[in-house]
Amino acid sequence: MKIAIDAMGGDCGLAATIPASLSILKAHPRIAQIQLFGPEEAINNALHTADLMLADPSLRERLCVRHAEAQINMADKPSSVLRERRESSMLLALRALAVEEVDACVSSGNTGALVALARHSCGVLDGVRSVAICAQLPNLDHPTYLLDVGANVDCTADQLHQFARMGCALVKSNHFQSTRSELKPRVRALSIGIESGKGNQTVTEAVALCSADHSMNFVGLIEANQLLMDDCDVVICDGFSGNIALKACEGTAEYIRRFIHQSSSKDQLPLSESEQRSDRLLQVMQASAFNGAVLLGLKRTVVKSHGGSDAIGFQAAIEKAIMLEQGELTEKMIRQLK
């Protein structure tokens, strides 16, 4: 498997993407190559000083640096990037994916630009109108997929219904969930109350469409406080509320981590062993469990990492791309969406 990395995306840029790529190569001997897209000189400089590279210079053999002059900024409008950022690291990485030089692409760059460029470069699956960004929530006993979390700010009921179908296809394509995949995936719609009719008109119409669709098991509305604790497989929502729900969960985890740290340091107590474990769990939850969202509906595998992700978070996003590609997501999606 070969993976393209937009090395310049996100707030941390090379400081996240280079150590993450090296860690992946070290952890996965079967990854044939990682291609790093960005300014050649800057990438090479970062590689020369990277700890993992110094420890194991042979990792360099599975790395390929592909020069990209430009980069897309967080403030760039999706509508203009195709015209104005033709030589950007993100677009060149997606082009390599489109022509099958690589098997998956990971970027933590501008979300709107990534969706627009991925759609343009790789194309969408037959019958798919809108690409959705799908996050995997770290529920205690099984994953719940939340979509859309940011590609489509305003959605129609038809779009929400299609998100439900794409989410179900993802559940069924997940080879780690063989027992659940035989059942119809359980689907809910995110709203502000669980009683029928709570929420807005679009949600109400989407509920009707999903309830009538016998390819899924639509089990009703869900409130955001149950997102991490419910037994369902897929939660559908528009990209505005989904993005807010996901980031609120993530922010609260970080807030509690700081809170525990502050109260420990105030008392000048060392963190107890089990507290350290809780703290590590919170860190992991923060950096990785919430990170790495898949762009659903594309003909190729593209994973979006959080714009603020550090090396650990970015590594988790690459791990997700590997897992999806190993699970033959796209092939299974095509069959499921027929």
What residue ranges bind a second copy (CB under 8 A)?
74-75, 77, 111, 140, 150, 153-154, 190, 192-193, 195-197, 199-200, 223-229, 237, 239-241, 243-256, 258-260, 262-264, 267, 269, 271-272, 274-275, 277-278, 281-282, 285
Return d(Cα 334, Cα 297) in angstroms, integer: 9
> Whose Cβ is closer to a second copy: residue 44's or residue 252's?
252
| In the complex, minimum distance from the CB of residue 296 to a second copy, in angstroms, rounded to a whole number | 18
> Whose Cβ is closer to a second copy: residue 143's or residue 172's?
143
> Whose Cβ is closer to a second copy: residue 176's or residue 255's?
255
| In the complex, minimum distance from the CB of residue 333 to a second copy, in angstroms, rounded to a whole number | 25
| In the complex, minimum distance from the CB of residue 77 to a second copy, in angstroms, rounded to a whole number | 7
Return d(Cα 189, Cα 236) in angstroms, integer: 5
> Whose Cβ is closer to a second copy: residue 146's or residue 187's?
146
> Whose Cβ is closer to a second copy: residue 45's or residue 276's?
276
| In the complex, minimum distance from the CB of residue 217 to a second copy, in angstroms, rounded to a whole number | 22
| In the complex, minimum distance from the CB of residue 86 to a second copy, in angstroms, rounded to a whole number | 22
Return d(Cα 94, Cα 79) in angstroms, integer: 17
> Whose Cβ is closer to a second copy: residue 129's or residue 258's?
258
Three-state DSSP at 21 gives helix
Residue position matching structure tokens 């194309």: 123
Question: What does each C-alpha distance from 307 to 8, 106, 310, 314 come to in angstroms?
Answer: 11, 12, 9, 9
Give the per-residue SS3 of 189-229.
EECCCCCCCCCCHHHHHHHHHHHCCCCCEEEEEECHHHCCC
| In the complex, minimum distance from the CB of residue 6 to a second copy, in angstroms, rounded to a whole number | 18
| In the complex, minimum distance from the CB of residue 109 to a second copy, in angstroms, rounded to a whole number | 12
CB atoms within 10 A of CB 290: 24
Long-range residue pairs from 61-64, CB within 8 A, at least 24 positions apart, any chain: 62/25, 62/31, 62/32, 62/33, 62/34, 63/21, 63/25, 63/33, 63/34, 63/35, 63/36, 64/33, 64/34, 64/35, 64/36
Phi-psi region of 292 (alpha: psi -120 to 50; beta: other; left: phi over 0): left
Residue position matching structure tokens 């969930």: 177
> Beta-strand (E) ranges in 124-171?
132-137, 144-147
| In the complex, minimum distance from the CB of residue 144 to a second copy, in angstroms, rounded to a whole number | 12
> Whose Cβ is closer to a second copy: residue 205's or residue 275's?
275
Q: Which amino acid is at 231?
A: D
> Whose Cβ is closer to a second copy: residue 162's or residue 291's?
291
CB of 88 closer than 8 Å to CB of 68 = yes
Return d(Cα 93, Cα 141) in angstroms, integer: 35
Return d(Cα 56, Cα 51) in angstroms, integer: 9
> Whose Cβ is closer to a second copy: residue 45's or residue 263's?
263
| In the complex, minimum distance from the CB of residue 313 to a second copy, in angstroms, rounded to a whole number | 12
Handedness of CA 160, 166, 172, 174 (dihedral sign): negative
